[in-house]
Chain A
Amino acid sequence: MTSQNIVQFDGPTILKAENVAVYYGDKQVLRDVMLSVPTHKITALIGPSGSGKSTLLRCFNRMNDLIRGARVEGQVTYHDQDLYDPEVDPVEVRRRIGMVFQKPNPFPKSIYENITWGARINGYRGTMDELVERSLRRAALWDEVKDRLHENALSLSGGQQQRLCIARAIAIEPEVILMDEPASALDPIATLKIEELMHELKENYTILIVTHNMQQAARVSDYTAMMMLTEDRNSATVIEFGKTQAIFTHPRDRRTEDYITGRIG
């Protein structure tokens, strides 16, 4: 069952998965997942393709609800509140736990409207101009777009679009930002900018990031969770969790070591 390689993090945690299992129809894709996400840190989910990293990520803001036939079992909590309590509206969850997707997906509207839309639907009371500037500054995009706020967001480069998506997410003041391979569609320079941005963001936000890129996990994250298919290859789980430095230098699980050193995966 639960691996002995899961270090229970003893600092403040914001999100917790306990014995989480996810099914897509009849097929079980995740089992026995235990994970604590430390507050105001960057936690990376790494592992080979098909090891359920994105699936686990989407458990934390109930995006799996949108996939037909998906079912989540076990307990997922945010500040010790059950995210899957029948009383909890997923809309409320997603307001607290924002998301940045793999492919930059700005709305086909102006840069300005991309920021204000989420705030407006969530009943933001305040000056929109200020919100737009503050969000874009935090996403390190302000200087590049301040003179073209009313241009269509699709006219930005891929890296700018992704930072706009981050700005859009933080404009509704979430506590956690989930990032699903946010830099995989970007070139190395744009990737670097996103990584620098993540470092700044962890002052105010907790970040959980899925990444395929081992160097990226090593560079940006404070904690790392290693995911892997189980022995029978039917479903996946978290096999090791700990400080990123420890995982990358002294992995306790043989499979983690093989994966990190490039022997499998």
Chain B
Amino acid sequence: MSLRDAAFESMLQRRQLRGMIFEAIAFLAILIGLLTLALLFYDIITSGVERLSWDFLTSFPSRRASRAGILSALAGSVFLVSLMSIFAFPIGIGAAIYLEEYAPRGWLTDLIQVNIANLAGVPSIIYGLLGLGIFARLAEPITGGRTLLAGALTMALLVMPVVIIAAREAIRSVPSEIRLAALGLGATRWQMIRGHVLPYALPGILTGTILAISRALGETAPLITLGALTYVPFVPDGLRSQFTVLPIQIFNWVTRPQEAFHTNAAAAIIVLLAILLSMNALAIYLRYRFEKRLMK
């Protein structure tokens, strides 16, 4: 029997062609994504890099664009996100552990799980309204109104679903053989979780938390709703201090008519991007480190 068969080969060519067309489409898709990103970077960097300087990082905002800086916004962002982490991560990871390891399976658990996924998709401005109502108004005696504390609590609510979902995925990816091995040795459920599930899930949990931080760093809408100020010539000095954050500062500058402020905005965007990208790089690095420690 001959290997080559004309009828089959013409069909085979068509089959191969389809594969190549799909490959081309997929390549085009990634190309468009990358080009857009490159263009964005190019535009921002060319318009803002001249303004970047140590002074820019260490000055307070000012009416004169050439003297304005981002110190209060930078400090506000860092404080806000740190404070948010303290609230969001223990609660989020705790909830994920409960849902994956302890919760009885049933319609109630399913309902909770579906709704956590839904919460992750709720527009952030809704969280802003919620924060305004609960943390800034209702809890004013504690938070002091539109303060850093109220902002951090609002942001914690916003990122919690993301943290829970990422942590659950990570916990669920722990092989059942490892769980059985631990329980088979007479471990209690908590000993199994503490000794094996959490260490194994740590890289995934960590990635989730860092992505949550990145998200919080870029959020503007909920903080504007909450009433974070646009002009803050001071570094927050406590939980009940008023504050601003980088995206709000950027938003403020972009809306000014003067060209010089637009340059300021571009420079501030570079700073924000640099922070975001280094956070993501950190996430990737930590994940790599922990996975390596686990496997080798």
Contact = CB atoms under 8 A, between A and B. Distances in A.
Chain B interface, >50% SS class = helix
Interface string B214-229: 0000000000000000
Interface of B: 105, 175, 177-178, 180-188, 191, 195-196, 200, 294-296
A180 to B, nearest CB: 10
B134 to A, nearest CB: 38
Interface string A85-107: 00000011011001101010111
Contacts of A63: 180, 183-184
Contacts of A95: 185-186
Interface in A118-172: 118, 121-122, 152, 154-155, 165, 168-169, 172
Interface residues of A, number: 27
Contacts of A105: 175, 177-178, 180-181
27 contacts: A61-B184, A66-B183, A68-B105, A91-B187, A94-B184, A94-B186, A98-B184, A98-B185, A99-B180, A101-B180, A101-B181, A105-B180, A106-B181, A107-B196, A108-B200, A117-B182, A117-B185, A117-B195, A118-B185, A118-B186, A121-B186, A152-B296, A154-B295, A154-B296, A165-B181, A172-B185, A172-B186
A221 to B, nearest CB: 22
Interface of A: 61, 63, 66, 68, 91-92, 94-95, 98-99, 101, 103, 105-108, 117-118, 121-122, 152, 154-155, 165, 168-169, 172
Contacts of A61: 184
A66 B182 CA distance: 12
The 9 A-B residue pairs with the shortest CB-CB distance, nearest first, are: A118-B185, A95-B186, A105-B177, A99-B184, A94-B186, A105-B181, A121-B191, A108-B294, A91-B186
Given A117-B195, A121-B195, A155-B296, A107 B178 contact: yes
A155 B200 CA distance: 17
